Structures are given as C-alpha cells and as structure tokens.
Amino acid sequence: MRVLYFSDNTSGHNRRFLRKLAASEHEVWFCDLAATEFPPGWLPTGIHPYFLARTLRRTAGPAEIIALLPAVRLMIADTKPDLIHVGPVQTCGYLIALAQFHPMLLTSWGSDILLFSERDEVWRDATRVAVGAADGLFVDSQWVLQTARRFGDIPDERVVMFPWGIETGKFGPVGPKLSGSEFKREPNTCVILCTRSWEPLYGMDTLLEAFLLAHQKEAKLRLALLGGGSQAEYIHDFIRNHRLEGVVTIPGLLDGHHLPQWFRAADGYISCAKGDGTSISLLEAMATGLPVIVTDILSNREWVTPDVNGWLGASAEGFAEAMLRVASLTSDDRSKISAANRKAVAERADWNRNFPKLLAMYEYLRAHPRKSIQSRQSSM
C-alpha cells in the first residue's frame, strides 16, 4: 500500500511512527507542512520525503492553512497514495478533508481535540470538517475519543485506540546512569523531574508555584526541568526571583539517548499540563518505576490511581502536597509503586505490541472507505 503520512512537525513522536512504518510492507511518504528540509539523519531510512510547493509555519490556524490547499492537492497527485494518515486535526486533517481525499485516517494529537477545538468558531468548524470527513480516527485515550465524537460520528469499527507507548527496554529502573558531571546528586534529597515543553499548555507556572510551596515545607526537595520553550524567560526569572537557583536544575534540551538516564536519576515525575491525551513522558516515568504526579483529567485517570501509583493535582497547592507525599515515601512504598507502574506500562503501552493495530486499520479503511459507504447510502 502507498501511504502518505502528513503532519506539521519533525518531532520525536512522528519519527517513532515513521520508524515503525519503515519496517512495514508499505511504501510511505512523509510531509511536514512547515518544512523545506528535515534535520540531518531525522528521516528514517526507507521513508520518502515530500516537500510542499508552499509552506506555512506550524502555528498557522485553519483560516491561514487554506492557502496550502493547491499545494496539498498537488502532493496527492504526485504521491498517489492509497491512504493518507494525517494529523493534527485542524491543520493537516482539515486540509485533507478540504481536498476530499479518501480514505483518510485522522490522528488527534490530544491538545488539538481537547483544547484547540473550542478556541473559536473557525477552529470549531475546522474540527467538524476534519472529523466529519475522516474515514477512521486514531486516538490515544477515551477522553480524546469522547470529545472528538462531539464533532462527528465515528463508529467503533473505524476507531483505533492505544497509547502511543514506549519501546520495550528503553526506559526502566536498570540501565546507564548519569555521570557526576551531568548531574551531581546531593545526599538525602528528593528529585522531582519534569520533561514537558516550556509552553503555556503544560502549566509551567503552576509547576513552579507548586514547587516553591513544597520546598518551603520540605527543604530536601529538588526540581529538574528538562527541555525548553517560549516561557524560558519567565521560568528563569521565577527561579532567580525566588532564589531557587540551588535547588532547580536546568540541563537544557537533551537528545533521546540521555532521557532514560534522567528518569533513573529522579525520585518522582510531575506534569501540570492543562490538557493531554496519554502522555508519552508519563509512560516513560511509569516504565522507569517512578511515582507520578499529573493533572486531574480523564486521560490521566486512565493511568493513575491516587495513593496507589501516584497522585492527581488540580492546583498549585494540590501539586505541592503531592510532591511532599513523594518526598515522604518509604523504601517499601517506592517498591510497590515501581512494580505497579512498570506492570501497567508493560501490559498496556508496549509500542511493538500495539502498532499492528494501526496497520490493521490501514487495511480496513482501504477496503471500506466511508465515502463509498456514504455514496451507497445516499443512492438508496
């Protein structure tokens, strides 16, 4: 089958999809609507690159994105796909819907459905158009599916749902450790790790307020903030203004090779994201055996049971209390949480075990595009 994978970024998430597709029997093209080239070595061997005749920045909204429709139609004509796997919803998905291509497997990235679909009427309309035109829907949690169904009727047999998962063996409590030059661990401290981007969506302001409250009560708490983003200035100012330089570590942007080592160096994981599907970083933390602290939203409740394998928070005060709980865990408590979290990931989030479900949906949609079904129904 000829597959066109159409997205809006060259993220690690997309690369993981493409690596699995490169190992399949399908012939696959990849297009990033914002790219004129790919980072050196980023595109997996065996995947064909495609660059649009015209590009737009990734942050362009539905009203602007329509300008790419002629270039998208040309892309479809050039690649002649049997199926297009596309996402996010209101940009790439919207374009393929407007191009009236079938079959289209629409993928939600979580925030596109959970947050952006209600930005305004333009975004709501783009969501309705994309979901309504989709032959199938790929989501990573029940919350995303339930929200998507407010914009269009997607029957169960046309839904493929599983967490985007992690590769077996990469994350776990056993493995290489950070060197002393990379992270010098102070004795008798409790390190809480956050790997989310420094963007408003991920609640970095709430996280910092929570850590400040928790550290005032428990001096052994430490925070490691990996990554970067548009809120870098705010984060650095907050740390400096509250004199947290000695207790907050900022190693910067890291490649995937070092990430498991940082999880092994931590005692707990935290995310204050305002919206999420099934977070990959949450699964990475759980696979490492860490107690986890995440926002009290439906997708996280699918993975976290308070006082069993982690805690849910809804405010800076709630997150602070959860950090204090992590700091007070006994060795026996940690062992039980570690076993529960590693078991959950092994049973439900094995990337190699789940990915064939996606390939099976490709075959189903090629054989049963909704367009042909709707045409038959309208003629009856």
Region 356-367: mean pLDDT is 96
Q: Are the CB atoms for 254 and 228 separated by under 8 Å?
A: no
pLDDT exceeds cutoff 70 at 376: no
Q: What's the predicted TM-score (pTM) here?
A: 0.78
Condensed to tens digits (0 to 9), the pLDDT of residues 311-353 reads 999 999 999 999 999 999 999 999 999 999 999 998 888 888 8
pLDDT exceeds cutoff 60 at 375: no
Lowest mean pLDDT among 36-45, 140-149, 180-189, 367-376: 367-376
CA distance between the termini of the chain: 31
pLDDT at 71: 97
- pLDDT category at 360 given cuts 50, 70, 90 is very high
pLDDT at 351: 82
Q: Are the CB atoms for 160 and 136 separated by under 8 Å?
A: yes
Region 226-238: mean pLDDT is 94
- pLDDT category at 245 given cuts 50, 70, 90 is very high
Q: Higher model confidence: residue 242 or residue 181? A: 242
Beta strands, E only, 15-95: 27-32, 48-50, 83-86
Distance CA 180, CA 145 (A): 44
Please name each of the domains of the chain with its CATH number.
Answer: 2-165+351-373 (3.40.50.2000), 190-348 (3.40.50.2000)
CB-based burial, 151-183: b 16+ in 10 Å, e otherwise: bbebeeebebbbbbbbeeeebbeeeeeeeeeeb
Distance CA 9, CA 88 (A): 10
Condensed to tens digits (0 to 9), the pLDDT of residues 96-108 reads 999 999 999 999 9
pLDDT at 374: 43
Q: Are the CB atoms for 296 and 313 separated by under 8 Å?
A: yes
Region 135-146: mean pLDDT is 92
